[in-house]
Amino acid sequence: MSPEQLKALIRDVPDFPKPGILFRDITPLLGNAKAFDAAIGRLADSVQAFGSDGLVAIESRGFLFGAAVAQRLKLPLQIVRKPGKLPSKTAGISYALEYGSDRVEIHVDAIEPGKRYTIIDDVLATGGTAAAASDLLRSLDGRVTGCVFFIELGFLGGRARLKGTPVASVVSY
């Protein structure tokens, strides 16, 4: 399926989760096995092009795409989560949001020093979470080969926040 065909399966939900936000709902795509398989194939192609030794998926919808891509490519998968969600010892990083701050964490033993990782998530918006995940991996001596996203909201400028890290996306707005 083409990116345009996949994009047609993304539902626009106005004013969610708050007024003024246009939410891009991927659940119709997830409910279409052929479309989801095509999306995973396109993401997997990007991960392969980056030459990764493993994947790092960002909470929570990034887990959906990350697990499927990791399984398809037979790559190890690690996860980045919000604070307090991982059961073992973690490393974390705080980052600035437009109005406040947030934090992400990963298990301290999740990243093998010197190994190459691609970060995967459902949406690239402002790039703050992906940039924080990249910084977190680098702080553990992992190499970030690229970031892949199913959806990119280009008008929000997230690529610029990723400081030259290669970025691939399947559909763009």
Residues marked as catalytic: 61, 98
77-80: strand order across its sheet = 77-80, 54-58, 116-124, 143-152, 167-172
Helix (H, G, I), strand (E, B) or coil at 85: coil
Q: Are 133 and 112 in contact (CB under 8 A)?
A: no
Distance, in Å, from the CA atom of 139 to the CA atom of 134, rounded to the nearest integer, reads 9
Contacts of 118 (CB under 8 A, 6+ apart): 46, 47, 50, 52, 54, 55, 56, 144, 145, 146, 147, 148
Contacts of 19 (CB under 8 A, 6+ apart): none
